[in-house]
Structure 1
Amino acid sequence: MASALKLPVLCFFFIVIFLQGTIAQPCEASSIKVQTFNTGTIVSGGDTVFEVEVTNVCPCAIKNVRLDGGGFATTIGVDPAVFRADDGGAYLVNSGQPIASMATVSFQYAWDHFFQLTPRSLEVDGQC
């Protein structure tokens, strides 16, 4: 009888451990959707204006969102409260402030080509 209970108890134990892992970290870097659009506008000097939308697709609010910029540069000003260089070659979005679930933070830059901006890290803002 005792050995008959071992398998169900063991299975229950592993299911609980698995669910705790997924509940504890509901949002990862893949929860950040980054899209870059060519606006069709050309600024003096011939650079194209691109618009970047950073969307939180996590069900939780997130903060301290950082993107990898791959040599990001611009010939027009970008509001540093929205997007700025941070330590370690990353770029901080929204001054690290919370971004609600399904909310978007956007900014524009101008260069002769677009830059591939990819999610690096985030923190869940409070409990989710």
Structure 2
Amino acid sequence: MATSHKLQPVLAVMFFTIFVIGANGERCNTSSIAVDTVNTGATVPWGDTIFSVEVKNRCPCAVRNVRLDGGGFATTVDVDQAAFRADGGGGSGVYLVNGGEPIASMAAVSFQYAWDHFFQMTPRSLEVDDDGQLC
């Protein structure tokens, strides 16, 4: 029994390490970014549906320069440019989230758009803003 009590701290450190750096030994990557699009049920006067998008950082460290593939994104209403804007020239289909500024761990950036259907957006790239911490 004494041996099992000695293993508990070792196992706790091991599981924490897997949580922090990932089971495959990689630091946070695009799979750490969750993009959820919700139909709000509201419409604009000309009939397009309003969608709300939340981009959440599930990495244990802050991330910055988060870019999404926009999947043909279009909108008939203005989108908050500080939250979501085209990146890399017109027509590239790549969009910068939060103006490239850091998004804290477990924090989210949200914006809305209006169109006749939703667009599938997927994380394309990011930078870990680890400030010298183990991430």
Instruction: State the TM-score, normalizing by the size of structure 1.
Output: 0.79
1:98 aligns with 2:102: yes
Superposed, 1:50-89 pairs within 5 Å as 50-87=51-88, 88-89=92-93
Partner residue of 1:34? 35
- Cα distance in 1 for partners of 2:93, 2:76 equals 19
SS of corresponding position for 1:95: helix
Give the match for residue 129 of structure 2.
Answer: 125
Structure 2 residue matching 1:30: 3-state secondary structure: helix
Residue type at the aligned position of 2:30: A
Q: Which is higher, the Rg of structure 1 or of structure 2?
A: 1
Gapped regions of structure 1 (runs ≥ 5): 1-18
Identity over the aligned pairs, expressed in percent? 69
- Structure 2: segments with no counterpart, 5+ residues: 1-21
TM-score (structure 2 length as normaliser): 0.75
- Deviant stretches of 4+, over 6 Å: none
In 1, Cα distance between equivalents of 2:77 and 2:85: 13
